[in-house]
């Protein structure tokens, strides 16, 4: 999305909460590419912030739970 002014962190969080999981993943992938300093001649702060916020939203939706005992490599 092209914007004339940068989003505040609160506005970005609200927008991310409204996205589906698929939209959030696509947004995060785009932010990761745009924040890669090697690909874009230097990372920009707004894209780094977007990537961090997208990751936080993903972790909020999908918290890491205890591992299933049947998947334990020691069995």
The 10s digit of each residue's pLDDT in 1-16 is 545 566 899 999 999 9
Question: In this predicted structure, what is the pLDDT of residue 43?
Answer: 64
Our CA angle for 29, 30, 35, nearest 5°, is 100
pLDDT tens digit at each of 75 positions of the chain: 545 566 899 999 999 999 999 999 999 999 999 888 888 777 678 889 999 999 999 999 999 877 655 555 554
Whole-model pTM? 0.74
Question: In this predicted structure, what is the pLDDT of residue 31?
Answer: 92
């Amino acid at each position: 999305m092209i914007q004339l002014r940068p989003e505040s962190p609160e506005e970005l969080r609200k927008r991310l909460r409204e996205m589906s999981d698929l939209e959030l993943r696509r947004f995060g992938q785009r932010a990761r590419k745009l924040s890669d300093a090697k690909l874009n001649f230097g990372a920009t702060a707004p894209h780094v912030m977007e990537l961090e916020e997208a990751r936080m939203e993903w972790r909020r939706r999908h918290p890491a739970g205890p591992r299933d005992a049947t998947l334990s490599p020691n069995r």
